[in-house]
């Protein structure tokens, strides 16, 4: 079997608000075609046009080439070798950042092909299924007012979620508002649900320590990315001085960055985004680094149903996976892009073991409606 085409599909809502940290407004899909008719799909979480250029760029020389050039004619089953070929072929402009973002989407699509050919779900292809039901948490941007936040939390509870995360938005503008937001959320749902807060890099170390003390009073389960991602010393001190679990890593790519978060930053929970960290191949290596250090892994997945499917298979296939992000965005890219969505029931998602590969079928109407170029 040979790869015959690496296709990029840029999707974008017509009314995109670039001031909001909402990755469901646009995306880049990767479709890999083979000479035997199998087509794998993956997703990139990056600036779509930047990642698209990395895939499609013609070669400059041996370590500066677009991914498409590196992959045409290759055997899609040789996933580890192709990952290394892409990594080495992008050394001049890669090693981390957008190059690894683009590699991530390709890698996910290759695993999709492997599962389809073998008639097995990706979780089995990754080495085996540790769990078939995974607790899912509702993930949403923090509303602007406590009243809205409380109502949204109640809505999630009624939908059957056992945990919810609220992030970005007004967090960090005013300490009094930050406390009122979490107080209202907790009052609205009582002790029925776990609450997580994604601070969106809102504070310096002293600000994060102050707010960690506040969040402890309201039983927040984890505090996510309160500091700039490069403040490794700050994360280490924060983790040592609070009883909250400190989580992060969604912005990182490559296992070396996650080794730094684990060993120097002392994070309790790492959150590799499979559409950004290097795909399922690199994601599994990151997960086992965390496993060796007795740390947990919760993949970041605020995108479309393609990434949700990849994250579901990934979480099922690692020993330290226990929780899955389920975006509550009303974007049609998040809600309607896949015709075979991951099933959610009574607080859990169900692994689609009856569908080979990722088990994803794209809704062509949505693809054509939001495709750019």
pLDDT digits (tens, 9 = 90+) for 251-307: 999 999 999 999 999 999 999 999 999 999 999 999 999 999 999 999 999 999 999
Q: Are residues 73 and 189 in the same domain?
A: no
Q: Are residues 44 and 116 in the same domain?
A: yes
- Asked if the model's pLDDT at residue 194 lies above 90, the reply is yes
Q: What mean pLDDT do residues 144-152 have?
A: 98
Please say which residue of 51, 86, 121 terminates a domain.
Answer: 121
Query: Virtual CA dihedral for 275, 10, 99, 21, nearest 10 degrees?
Result: -60
pLDDT value for 19: 87
pTM score, two decimals?
A: 0.97
Q: Are residues 79 and 156 in the same domain?
A: no
Q: Which has more confidence, 192 or 333?
A: 333
Q: Are residues 154 and 51 in the same domain?
A: no
Q: Are residues 135 and 208 in the same domain?
A: yes
Confidence of residue 103 (pLDDT cuts 50, 70, 90): very high
- Asked if the model's pLDDT at residue 20 lies above 90, the reply is no
Dump pLDDT digits (tens) for 208-259.
Answer: 999 999 999 999 999 999 999 999 999 999 999 999 999 999 999 999 999 9
Q: What mean pLDDT do residues 320-337 have?
A: 97
In this structure, are residues 252 and 77 in contact, taking their beta carbons and an 8 Å threshold? no
Positive or negative torsion for Cα 151, 157, 161, 162: positive
Least confident of 10-24, 78-92, 285-299, 316-330: 10-24
Average pLDDT, the chain: 97
Cβ of 62: how many Cβ atoms within 10 Å?
10
Percent pLDDT > 70 in the chain is: 100
> Residue 186 belongs to a domain with what CATH number?
3.20.20.120
Q: Which domain holds residue 68?
A: 3-121
Q: Give the containing element (helix H, strand E) for 40.
A: strand 39-44
- Asked if the model's pLDDT at residue 102 lies above 90, the reply is yes
How far apart are the C-alpha atoms of 163 and 155, rounded to whole Å? 12
Domain assignment present for residue 372? The answer is no
Cβ of 345: how many Cβ atoms within 10 Å?
10
Domain assignment present for residue 266? The answer is yes
Q: Are residues 255 and 340 in the same domain?
A: yes
How far apart are the C-alpha atoms of 330 and 338, rounded to whole Å? 14
> Residue 101 belongs to a domain with what CATH number?
3.30.390.10
Please say which residue of 91, 121, 151 terminates a domain.
Answer: 121
Residue 25: strand, helix, or coil: coil
Please say which residue of 103, 121, 139 terminates a domain.
Answer: 121
Dump pLDDT digits (tens) for 155-189.
Answer: 999 999 999 999 999 999 999 999 999 999 999 99
Q: How many domains is the chain partitioned into structurally?
A: 2
Q: What mean pLDDT do residues 88-103 have?
A: 97
């Amino acid at each position: 079997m040979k790869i015959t085409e690496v296709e990029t599909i840029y999707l974008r809502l017509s009314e995109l608000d670039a001031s909001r940290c909402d990755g469901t407004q646009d995306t880049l899909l990767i479709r890999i075609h083979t000479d035997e008719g199998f087509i794998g799909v993956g997703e990139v979480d990056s600036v779509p046009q930047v990642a698209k250029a990395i895939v499609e760029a013609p070669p400059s020389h041996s370590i500066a080439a677009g991914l498409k050039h590196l992959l045409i004619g290759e055997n899609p089953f040789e996933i580890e070798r192709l990952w290394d070929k892409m990594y080495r072929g992008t050394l001049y402009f890669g090693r981390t950042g957008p190059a690894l973002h683009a590699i991530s989407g390709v890698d996910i699509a290759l695993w999709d092909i492997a599962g389809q050919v073998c008639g097995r779900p990706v979780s089995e292809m990754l080495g085996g299924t540790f769990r078939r039901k995974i607790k899912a948490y509702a993930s949403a941007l923090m509303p602007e007012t406590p009243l809205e936040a409380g109502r949204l939390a109640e809505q999630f509870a009624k939908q059957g979620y056992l945990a919810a995360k609220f992030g970005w938005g007004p967090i960090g503008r005013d300490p009094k508002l930050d406390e009122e937001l979490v107080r209202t959320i907790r009052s609205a749902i009582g002790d029925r649900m776990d609450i997580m807060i994604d601070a969106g890099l809102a504070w310096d170390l002293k600000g994060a320590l102050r707010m960690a003390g506040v969040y402890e009073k309201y039983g927040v389960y984890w505090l996510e990315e309160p500091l700039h991602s490069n403040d490794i010393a700050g994360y280490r001190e924060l983790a040592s001085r609070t009883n909250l679990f400190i989580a992060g890593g969604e912005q990182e790519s490559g296992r070396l960055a996650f080794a730094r978060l684990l060993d120097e930053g002392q994070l309790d929970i790492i959150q590799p985004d499979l559409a950004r960290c290097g795909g399922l191949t690199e994601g599994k290596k990151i997960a086992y680094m965390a496993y060796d250090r007795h740390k947990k892994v919760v993949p970041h997945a605020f995108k479309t149903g393609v990434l949700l499917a990849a994250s579901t298979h990934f979480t099922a296939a690692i020993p330290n996976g226990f929780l899955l992000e389920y975006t509550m965005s009303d974007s049609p890219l998040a809600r309607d892009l896949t015709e075979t969505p991951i099933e959610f029931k009574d607080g859990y998602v169900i692994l689609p073991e009856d569908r080979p590969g990722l088990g994803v079928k794209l809704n062509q109407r949505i693809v054509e409606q939001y495709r750019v170029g």
